[in-house]
Amino acid sequence: METLLTNQLAAADDDQGVAGMADVNLVVMTFDNETDAGSVMRSLRSLEKDGQMSIEDTAVLVKDQSGKLRVDNEVSGSVETGAVVGGSLGLLLTFMFPVAGIVIGAGGGALVGKLLERGVDGKFVKDVGEELQPGTSALFITGRGSNHEAVLRAIEPYKGNLYQTNLSSELEDELKRALR
């Protein structure tokens, strides 16, 4: 499994970072219960609101005791941008060409969202979800720049494992220590 996941990350990681984005970090953490992944994500979102980090995309996976997997993938900035651009384009064109405006607006929004697509690869999320044991959870997060000390303090109350990352060795070791 380690080789498969390493190869998948390497395929998504190029000279510009994860999925073609400059300086984007990917961190995947797993937890031995169903709640900690969501709690860590909320703590990190709080840091983002305080300007301590910039989050591009997140996904929380929870495999309940019966083995059913739930994926909570937050709307990324590219989807929001695509929706706004598509809606605006559709509204403008609807007044000028009613039927064409609706079609072009929807298509334009989807195209803008696809062109700006960022974040965690869906196949990678699915693969990790299949590996989770019942009663556990995982957090996928991609982001740019952070106050590393603040991030480490935010995750220290939680016990988990670092599953995959493209962080430097030094930051990876610090994150592993914080999750103990």
The domain spans of the chain are 2-74+121-178, 78-114
Question: Which of 79-88, 110-119, 170-179 is the least confident region?
Answer: 110-119
Mean pLDDT of 19-48: 85
The average confidence (pLDDT) of the chain is: 73
The DSSP H or E segment spanning 13 is: strand 13-14
The highest-confidence range among 68-77, 99-108, 131-140, 142-151, by mean pLDDT, is 131-140
95 pLDDT more than 60? no
Extract the tokens encoding 52.
């301590």
Extract the tokens encoding 30.
């797993």
**How far is residue 139 from each of residues 45, 67, 84, 118, measured CA to CA in Å?**
12, 17, 28, 17
Q: pTM of the full predicted structure? A: 0.67
pLDDT-derived band of residue 137, with 50, 70 and 90 as boundaries? very high
Fold of 2-74+121-178: Alpha-Beta Plaits (3.30.70)
Closest to 166 (Cα-Cα) out of 175, 154, 153, 155: 175
Radius of gyration of the chain (CA): 18
For tokens 């990876």, the residue is 172
Identify the bridge partners of residue 29 per DSSP, sorted by sequence position: 139, 162
User: In this prediction, what percent of the chain has a pLDDT beyond 70?
Assistant: 61
For tokens 């384009």, the residue is 89
173 pLDDT more than 80? yes
What pLDDT does 16 receive?
32
Mean pLDDT of 79-87: 50
Who contacts 72 (Cβ-Cβ below 8 Å, separation ≥6)? Answer: 38, 59, 60, 61, 62
pLDDT-derived band of residue 91, with 50, 70 and 90 as boundaries? low
d(CA 100, CA 103): 5
Extract the tokens encoding 95.
């007044």
